[in-house]
Amino acid sequence: MKTIGTATACTGILLGLVAAPASAAPAPSPINPVTKKDINRAVAALPKIVKRTMRKTGVPGIAVAVVHKDRIIYKQGFGVRSTKTGKKVTPSTVFQIASVSKPVGASVVASAISDKIAKWTSPVNELNPGLELSDPWVTSHVTVGDLYAHRSGLPANSGNDLEAFGFDRDTIIERLRYEPLSPFRITYSYSNFGMTSAGDAVARAAGTSWESLADRLLFKPLKMKRSSYSHADFVREKNTAALHQPVKGKWVPFSKRNADAQAPAGGLSSSVEDMSRWLRMELANGKFGGKRVTRKGPLNQSRSLQIPNSPTAAAAQPPKGYGFGMGVETDSTSRVRWAHSGAFTSGAATRIMMIPDLDLGIVILTNAWPVGAPEAIGEYFADQVEYGRPTQNWFKVTKAGFAPLTAKPDTIFGQKKPKNPVASQPLPTYVGTYANDYVGTASITEENGKLVMRVGPNGVTRLPLRHFSGDTFYYQAIEMPPGYFTGVRFTGDGTASSLEIEEVNSGLGVLTRS
């Protein structure tokens, strides 16, 4: 089973999205000319689109804002912030943004580059000598841009498993050295902690933290007063949206999701009012309120196509890929789109999309785990703008795209539970301490006739184990709804000599008795 509980779950699924040329905005498309009347018609249709999406998905709360020609032309909240309190969503409601943190963070880096703190081409280990990858050559050559384009070779979900166990950012970045690498600069692999290590390194070069750098270079100049990369700041806000997961057919608030460990990649919280200010700055190529927030060059580089991320079998398909923290693609009218999705399986799904040719952008924030709702709204809105009608059933398309992220696993280590499970060994056989360099220590104890595994710093994460069959056990997957399980398997004759944790990535989950 993949570690989906803490992933900023946009691992290429409907990332949608590629970057525009690094020069000036593209010339007006000759296909489907769009007028102000067309945009006004699409905006007028938004409430109906959002309400229909809520009926089809049951998502409790949604906030939407649209910007055009450096103005907010629409902002509205729908539904409730929490199914428990029933308090209404407003345009100032603060949501956890998940992976939409990435393009916003890329703007922070672009501003730091404007201030000559770093470059997209800066080797990361020169900014942070503590970063080391499994290949020494890659360690010395991987750049800020490589990590922001997901082309470092780090596997998808690198470090997400350690975050689930409670490790902090510094520890996770330090342990990326144990991850096996795919071919450098030719492999697209979506890595939250790869990007986080680059953002963190730029902040170190500036002599500050990522959270403070973002506040100084972006949030204060844009007057994004309700935006922060700190979970503590989110908790202090009064008007916040709770995360929601489906439990027995109902959307139920999730307790919390602290994404500080991966803040540059997934830790942003914001409102559609604040996010619309960022959209305006992006579409104005780095200016806001007549003042330059970042130079055009570094910002345009972030929206330029760096690596393809959606190979197609058919010939002559529109280009689609990833820039530095931003998805970039060409739509069927030949217009460039800059876009990104965000999702926590703990209960958030978000979407931004910009069509620079039209000086148009939309942000959609929701408070339920990924079912494709913000993506469907965005696509229906773009269709209304460019065609005046839907081109296909976007609810069906986006729901199918996100289904793998939330599919309930029905196997443990690839095996369905047998009708007649093999009995385990006596539980003291498994009791002990196991360790490896990546996970650290896992302690197995017996409590009231059951096994319990403790992992993370000082055993902070406690996971009761249930018997599966033979020497295999399982536990409730971290930050997932009831009924989502993942396994632990012991090996060795007599007293167990090792254990394997299924949700640890890249074969790094085998721990030896110490």
Dist CA 131 CA 129 (whole Å) = 5
Other C-beta atoms closer than 10 Å to the C-beta of 86 total 10
Check pLDDT > 80 for residue 4.
Answer: no
Other C-beta atoms closer than 10 Å to the C-beta of 36 total 11
Check pLDDT > 60 for residue 162.
Answer: yes
Residues 53-59, mean pLDDT to the nearest whole number:
96
Q: Assess whether 252 and 194 both reside in one domain.
A: no
Dist CA 450 CA 32 (whole Å) = 65
Check pLDDT > 60 for residue 270.
Answer: yes
Return the HEC string of 226-241.
CCECCHHHHHHCCCEC
Tell whether 230 is covered by a domain: yes
**For the chain, what is the largest distance between any 2 Cα atoms, rounded to a whole number of angstroms?**
76
CATH of the domain at 365: 3.40.710.10
Q: Assess whether 300 and 229 both reside in one domain.
A: yes
Give the pLDDT score at 312: 67
Tell whether 379 is covered by a domain: yes
Altogether, the residues listed in the chain come to a count of 514
Structural domain of 147: 118-205
Query: In what helix (H) or strand (E) does residue 251 lie, and over which residues does it extend?
Result: strand 250-253
Q: Assess whether 378 and 314 both reside in one domain.
A: yes
Q: Assess whether 215 and 187 both reside in one domain.
A: no
Give the pLDDT score at 380: 97
Q: Assess whether 291 and 332 both reside in one domain.
A: yes
Structure tokens that stand for 490 in this block: 């012991």
Q: Which of 53, 9, 37 is nearest to 390 (CA)?
A: 53
Contacts of 500 (CB under 8 A, 6+ apart): 413, 488, 489, 491, 509, 510, 511
Mapped onto helix, strand or coil, the DSSP state of residue 145 is helix
Check pLDDT > 80 for residue 467.
Answer: yes
Cα→Cα distances 309→177, 189, 313, Å: 24, 8, 13
Dist CA 472 CA 456 (whole Å) = 21
Q: Assess whether 392 and 436 both reside in one domain.
A: no
Residues 249-255, mean pLDDT to the nearest whole number:
93
Residues 301-310, mean pLDDT to the nearest whole number:
93
CB 317 within 8 A of CB 212: no
Cα→Cα distances 359→26, 274, 376, Å: 11, 18, 21
Check pLDDT > 50 for residue 423.
Answer: yes
Give the pLDDT score at 15: 52
Check pLDDT > 60 for residue 302.
Answer: yes
Q: Assess whether 295 and 357 both reside in one domain.
A: yes
Check pLDDT > 50 for residue 95.
Answer: yes
Q: Which of 11, 165, 251, 156 is nearest to 475 (CA)?
A: 165
Give the pLDDT score at 133: 98
Structure tokens that stand for 190 in this block: 């979506």
Structure tokens that stand for 471 in this block: 């020497």
pLDDT tens digits for range 329-367: 998 888 999 999 999 999 999 999 999 999 999 999 999
Give the pLDDT score at 255: 82
Q: How many structural domains compose the chain?
A: 3
Question: Final residue of a domain: which of 188, 205, 222?
Answer: 205
Give the pLDDT score at 349: 98
**What average pLDDT does the chain have?**
93
Dist CA 312 CA 80 (whole Å) = 40
Contacts of 387 (CB under 8 A, 6+ apart): 32
Tell whether 196 is covered by a domain: yes
Sign of CA dihedral 198, 199, 200, 205: positive
Dist CA 128 CA 204 (whole Å) = 7
Q: Which of 249-263, 315-329, 429-443, 491-505 has the lowest mean pLDDT?
A: 315-329
Q: Which of 258, 75, 117 is nearest to 201 (CA)?
A: 117
Tokens 């995360």 found at: 243
CA 312 remoteness from chain centre: 24
Cα→Cα distances 413→323, 469, 484, Å: 35, 11, 14
pLDDT tens digits for range 116-127: 999 999 999 999
Residues 454-468, mean pLDDT to the nearest whole number:
97
CB 173 within 8 A of CB 196: yes
Please give the share of the chain, as a percent, with pLDDT higher than 90: 88
CA 19 remoteness from chain centre: 18
Question: Final residue of a domain: which of 358, 376, 406?
Answer: 406
Q: Assess whether 188 and 291 both reside in one domain.
A: no
Q: Assess whether 196 and 255 both reside in one domain.
A: no
Structure tokens that stand for 12 in this block: 């290429």
Dist CA 366 CA 401 (whole Å) = 17
CA atoms in the 13 A half-sphere facing the CB of 150: 26
Sign of CA dihedral 226, 231, 237, 240: positive
- Reported as a pLDDT band with limits 50, 70 and 90, residue 460 is very high
Buried b (16+ CB within 10 A) or exposed e, 390-427: eeeebbeebbebbeebbeebeebeeeeeeeeeeebeeb
Q: Which residue has the higher pLDDT, 220 or 11?
A: 220
Question: Final residue of a domain: which of 406, 438, 456?
Answer: 406
Check pLDDT > 90 for residue 470.
Answer: yes
Other C-beta atoms closer than 10 Å to the C-beta of 187 total 15
Give the pLDDT score at 504: 96
Q: Which of 435, 483, 485, 481 is nearest to 463 (CA)?
A: 485
Check pLDDT > 80 for residue 296.
Answer: yes
pLDDT tens digits for range 12-30: 444 543 333 333 344 444 5
Give the pLDDT score at 318: 77
Q: Which of 111, 132, 113, 134 is nearest to 122 (CA)?
A: 113
Sign of CA dihedral 334, 338, 339, 340: positive
Q: Assess whether 431 and 485 both reside in one domain.
A: yes
Going by their DSSP bridges, the two strands 71-79 and 61-68 should be labelled as: antiparallel
Q: Assess whether 245 and 307 both reside in one domain.
A: yes
CATH of the domain at 473: 2.40.128.600
Check pLDDT > 80 for residue 3.
Answer: no
CB 18 within 8 A of CB 337: yes
